[in-house]
């Protein structure tokens, strides 16, 4: 499969460096050029014909918007970025009006940059495929049939820093006949979790969508917890979205969903803790173990940040510690275990 060819245009040296480094580490992307001067962008696009352009806009006037118009005139898809300020939001609203495929806001300070770059990468993928903000999810899921059988087993996957890439690896290798429903809890804001769901849907053999209050968990479907709300479960297995205070400084919190899964599914639940900073997921794993469930933790070597998995491992709560590429197989085995099979 050919890589997505990306051109990065950013007046900030730090912005260019971090963006190029992050996108260059994505296995399905290749940065073909970078530009510091917006006036250079159209010429590079005409010469190199990238699939998509990441374009930083920090002013309402030219040359930024002039560059955007010229690039769009050449037929290239553009994902525009601007500061996370009221002025930046206004800039991006204008960019969307001119035809930018999607937009991303970047914090004024460097905190949270990894999550922003993960969001940018997903939106660049979607733009390169010519899919709009809603079409990506609808087009892919429409081709898949949800097995509406009763949900007997449940998999809860939690992640934070480095999670989007790890989730793509895991979800893309789970079979369409997985005998369980899957809940994904990723530390991200709402707009980013919508993009994450769309990205996972492009790679999954199962339908993937953002969870909504009242959803009934079914076998063979992946639900992504929306950013900004905790995801819990009713005794009947319906999704509940709650606006309670952050847990472990985050919302949604993996602990909240795992504790709910322990109460509703007990030994029929599998918890998976992937890369991430902090210790969210540890107490949920503890609750799941007490209820007879099974816990898998990503290993240190393949984690971007070995915080969340480490907290579970060091607390003695992991039944299996596995490299990322082995996690899908471990999930399948854990589900067979909960069905009475032994390895």
Catalytic residues: 160, 187, 280
Contact predicate 61/87, CB 8 Å: no
Computed from CA positions of residues 210, 213, 219, 225, in that sequence, does the dihedral angle turn out positive or negative? Answer: positive
What is the Cα–Cα distance from 155 to 137, expressed in whole angstroms? 21
- Residue 176 has a CB neighbour count (10 Å cut-off) of 12
Distance of CA 271 to the CA centre of its chain: 18
**Which strands, in side-by-side order, build the sheet including 52-56?**
29-35, 4-9, 52-56, 77-83, 102-106
27 Rama class: left (phi>0) / alpha (psi -120 to 50) / beta: alpha
Sequence-distant (6+) residues with CB within 8 A of 78 are 52, 53, 55, 68, 71, 72, 95, 99, 100, 101, 127
DSSP string computed for 264-323: HHGGGEEEEE-SBSS-TTHHHHHHHHHTT-EEEEE-TTT-SSBSHHHHHHHTT--SEEE-
Residues facing 241 on adjacent strands = 231
């Amino acid at each position: 499969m050919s890589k997505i060819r990306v051109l990065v245009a950013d007046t900030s040296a730090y912005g260019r460096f971090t963006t190029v480094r992050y996108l260059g580490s994505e296995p399905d992307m290749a940065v073909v050029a970078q530009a510091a001067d917006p006036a250079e962008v159209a010429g590079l696009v005409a010469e190199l014909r990238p699939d998509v352009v990441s374009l930083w806009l920090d002013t309402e006037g030219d040359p930024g918007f002039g560059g955007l118009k010229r690039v769009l005139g050449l037929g290239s898809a553009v994902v525009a970025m601007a500061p996370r300020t009221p002025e930046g939001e206004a800039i991006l609203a204008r960019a969307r009006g001119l035809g930018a495929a999607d937009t991303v806001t970047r914090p004024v300070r460097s905190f949270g940059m990894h999550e922003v770059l993960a969001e940018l990468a997903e939106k660049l993928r979607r733009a390169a495929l010519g899919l709009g903000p809603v079409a990506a999810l609808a087009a892919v899921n429409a081709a898949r049939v949800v097995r509406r059988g009763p949900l007997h087993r449940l998999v809860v996957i939690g992640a934070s820093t480095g999670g989007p890439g790890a989730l793509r690896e895991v979800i893309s290798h789970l079979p369409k006949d997985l005998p369980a429903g899957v809940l994904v809890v990723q530390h991200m804001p709402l707009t980013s979790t919508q993009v994450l769901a769309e990205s996972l849907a492009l790679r999954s053999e199962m339908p993937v969508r953002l969870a909504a209050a009242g959803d009934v968990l079914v076998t063979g479907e992946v639900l992504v917890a929306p950013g900004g709300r905790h995801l819990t479960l009713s005794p009947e297995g319906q999704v509940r979205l709650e606006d309670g205070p952050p847990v472990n400084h985050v919302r949604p919190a993996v602990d909240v969903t795992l504790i709910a899964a322990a109460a509703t599914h007990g030994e029929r639940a599998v918890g998976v803790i992937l890369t991430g900073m902090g210790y969210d997921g540890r107490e949920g794993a503890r609750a799941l173990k007490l209820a007879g469930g099974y816990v898998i933790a990503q290993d240190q070597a393949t984690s971007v940040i070995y915080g969340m998995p480490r907290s579970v491992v060091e607390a003695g709560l992991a039944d299996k510690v596995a490299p990322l590429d082995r996690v899908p197989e471990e999930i399948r085995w854990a589900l067979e275990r909960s069905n009475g099979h032994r390895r």
